[in-house]
């Protein structure tokens, strides 16, 4: 059972990180389904964890008692981190993976809403917010060249080029 939990945690973490650091715009029509799938999955896993911890012969309880630690910190961390990671994995990571499997070359036209105050950012260089997408972490593009970024303004169109499917577009280039 422990190996399954560790494997599931690694899988969710990889999907979450993949989704977070991919240049991918998710099709707005499927976002609510992905979010709710992540919520349901989180509730299911949290229920299994609560059931396993509540058993009198729980390894978790025994380890905490043996070390003299309070399990409260770990439980709070699980309650906060697991849903965030699961929802991010379902919301951003799974569409990236599915798109990589079934996607083909395509383009998507987006409209510039505004741009970040600075071209340089810790994670997203040339961050440009787009009007066509509204969900959190799905409403901007990264990687716009500094010259192009300086020239674009609200209402301009950008053509994203990359691998596209019913899940969205994983863009690797653009044209203004």
* 143 torsion bin: left (phi>0), alpha (psi -120 to 50), beta (else): left
Neighbours of 168 (CB within 10 A): 26
Buried b (16+ CB within 10 A) or exposed e, 133-142: beeeebebbb
Domain boundaries, the chain: 2-102, 104-175
Q: Helix crossing, 72-88 with 31-54: angle to 10°?
A: 160
The helices-and-strands tally (H runs, E runs) of the chain is 6, 6
User: In tens digits, what is the pLDDT along the chain, a chain of 176 residues?
Assistant: 667 778 888 999 999 999 989 999 999 999 999 999 999 999 998 888 888 777 777 777 777 677 766 677 777 888 889 899 999 999 999 999 999 999 999 999 999 999 888 887 777 889 999 998 989 889 999 999 999 999 999 999 999 999 999 999 999 999 98
Q: What is the pLDDT of residues 163-173, one digit of tens each?
A: 999 999 999 99
Q: Which residues pair with 114 in a beta bridge?
A: 129
In angstroms, the CA 64 to CA 4 distance is: 21
Nearest to 132 by CA among 148, 155, 162: 155
């Amino acid at each position: 059972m422990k190996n399954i939990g560790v494997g599931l945690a690694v899988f969710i973490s990889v999907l979450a990180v993949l989704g977070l650091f991919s240049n991918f715009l998710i099709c707005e029509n499927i976002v609510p389904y992905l979010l709710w799938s992540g919520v349901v999955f989180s509730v299911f896993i949290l229920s299994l964890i609560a059931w396993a911890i509540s058993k009198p012969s729980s390894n978790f309880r025994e380890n905490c008692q043996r070390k003299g630690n309070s399990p409260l910190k770990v439980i709070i961390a699980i309650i906060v981190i697991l849903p965030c990671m699961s929802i991010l994995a379902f919301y951003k990571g799974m569409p990236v993976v599915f798109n990589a499997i079934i996607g083909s070359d395509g383009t998507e036209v987006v409209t510039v809403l505004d741009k970040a105050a600075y071209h340089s950012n810790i994670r997203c260089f040339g961050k440009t917010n787009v009007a066509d997408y509204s969900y959190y972490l799905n409403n901007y593009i990264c990687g716009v060249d500094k010259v192009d970024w300086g020239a674009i303004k609200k209402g301009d169109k950008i053509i994203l080029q990359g691998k596209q499917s019913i899940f969205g577009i994983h863009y690797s280039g653009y044209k203004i």
